[in-house]
Amino acid sequence: MEYRNLGKSGLKISEFSFGSWVTFVNQLNEKEAMRCMEIAYERGVNFFDNAEAYASGASEVLMGKILKKLNWSRDSYIVSSKVFWGGDLPTQKGLSKKHVHDACNNALKRLQVDYLDLFFCHRPDPETPIIETVFAMNDLLSQGKIMYWGTSEWSAKEIKTAFKCASKYKLRGPSMEQPQYNLLHRDRFENEYDEIFKKYKIGSTIWSPLASGLLTGKYNNGVPSSSRFKVKGYEWLADSMDGINFDLIGKINSLAKEIGLLPSQFAILWCLMNQNVSTVILGASSSTQLKENLCAIDLKDALTLDVTDKLNNIIREGIKK
Ligand code: NDP
């Protein structure tokens, strides 16, 4: 495993990390989730991603229980939470100073840690002035409850506003963004954020490198019976299949096989080739999937310039059709 700086910060984050969305509690019980975390850590993964919204807090409770059992030294791993969707009451959601503080304190309890390394605003909140959130995050930084704060799926304009507010009051702006980035979803990361990466040098912890599994090719002939698309409460994910070019996915999968990679490994490694990516957050509903994905780290050299040229041609042709 190699480690990248999280943007311009000094934090060294593993190129692959492991997240718990959908999987923890819904698909992985304690024993299986623990096995996955152990496998990841043994392979050098140092970042574990979570959020108050995941399984309505139960994902953080489970991860906290596992962290306690594994008893890893606290200085050897990075753990995150995210604030936005905390509950149904008006005070339990969004990015108000109150909810940012409550969400952080609740995450600390659920994860059984003294501080969060990364704390994200899970979405922008049009009903809270950005300056209020910037101040709230800086309070948590000075209280030592979080190490770095960041955004997730904020527009470039919103991120710029956060930096302007921070600069005006000599506060710290966001250190990282958590956007979706994969072969099917590139525009925001590669175009909209271009200026943000250049100007502010923020890091990125990118999500859904496999587009929820679509890039593995296993949806090319319909939804497989054991899939997150069938997990209760996540049926809406099937909407993401609308407009998907399965012919293009099939061709990308064939290119992967041609160079001796599994489609999943190819898609994950492709994300890592972008130097604005600090870490690729892997998701897995079994230890077999996780092992397969982690193995990609040893196969980085397979994505040569010749291969990326071929890939770009396939994509260009696919878009033309
Ligand atoms: P992926 O796009 O990689 O999807 C992971 C899913 O794909 C798995 O759960 C599994 O689903 C399937 N899969 C994974 N590996 C394989 C394999 N080798 N072969 C076949 N199928 C495979 O990532 P996620 O969408 O899970 O995102 C990763 C993390 O990013 C999350 O856990 C979370 O921490 C974070 N995230 C953040 C968001 C945000 O808004 N900030 C939003 C979403 C995620 P199946 O059970 O169907 O087999």
DSSP assignment of 95-160, as one string? Answer: S-HHHHHHHHHHHHHHHT-S-EEEEEESS--TTS-HHHHHHHHHHHHHTTSEEEEEESS--HHHHH
According to the CATH classification, is domain 3-217+275-286 in 3.20.20.100? yes
Long-range contact list for 250-257, CB < 8 A, 24+ apart? 250/217, 250/220, 251/314, 251/318, 252/183, 252/215, 252/311, 252/314, 252/315, 253/217, 253/220, 255/307, 255/310, 255/311, 255/314
With a 6 A CB cut-off, is 181 part of the ligand 1 pocket?
no
Q: What is the pLDDT along the chain (321 residues), one digit of tens a residue?
A: 999 999 999 999 999 999 999 999 999 999 999 999 999 999 999 999 999 999 999 999 999 999 999 999 999 999 999 999 999 999 999 999 999 999 999 999 999 999 999 999 999 999 999 999 999 999 999 999 999 999 999 999 999 999 999 999 999 999 999 999 999 999 999 999 999 999 999 999 999 999 999 999 999 988 888 899 989 888 888 888 888 889 999 999 999 999 999 999 999 999 999 999 999 999 999 999 999 999 999 999 999 999 999 999 998 887 666
Ligand 1 atom nearest to CA at 262: 18
Pair 66, 119: CB distance under 8 Å? no
The residues spanned by each domain of the chain are 3-217+275-286
pLDDT at 321: 61
Residue 40 makes CB contacts below 8 A (sequence gap 6+) with 16, 17, 18, 48, 282, 290, 294
- Best mutation site among 18, 60, 178, 207 for ligand 1, i.e. most ligand atoms within 8 A of its Cβ? 207
pTM over 0.95: yes
Query: Cβ(316)–Cβ(245) under 8 Å?
Result: no
Q: Which of 289, 290, 293, 294 to mutate to test the pocket of ligand 1 (most atoms within 8 A of CB)?
A: 289
> Which conformational region is residue 233 in: left (phi greater than 0), alpha (psi within -120 to 50 degrees), or beta?
left
Nearest CA to ligand 1 atom 32: 19
The position carrying tokens 């923890």 is 24
How far does the centroid of ligand 1 lie from the alpha carbon of residue 285, in Å? Answer: 8
Work out which ligand 1 atom sits closest to the CA atom of 178: 41
Both tokens of residue 184? 């099917």
Q: Find out whether the beta carbon of 213 lies less than 6 Å from any atom of ligand 1.
A: yes
Active centre residues (catalytic): 54
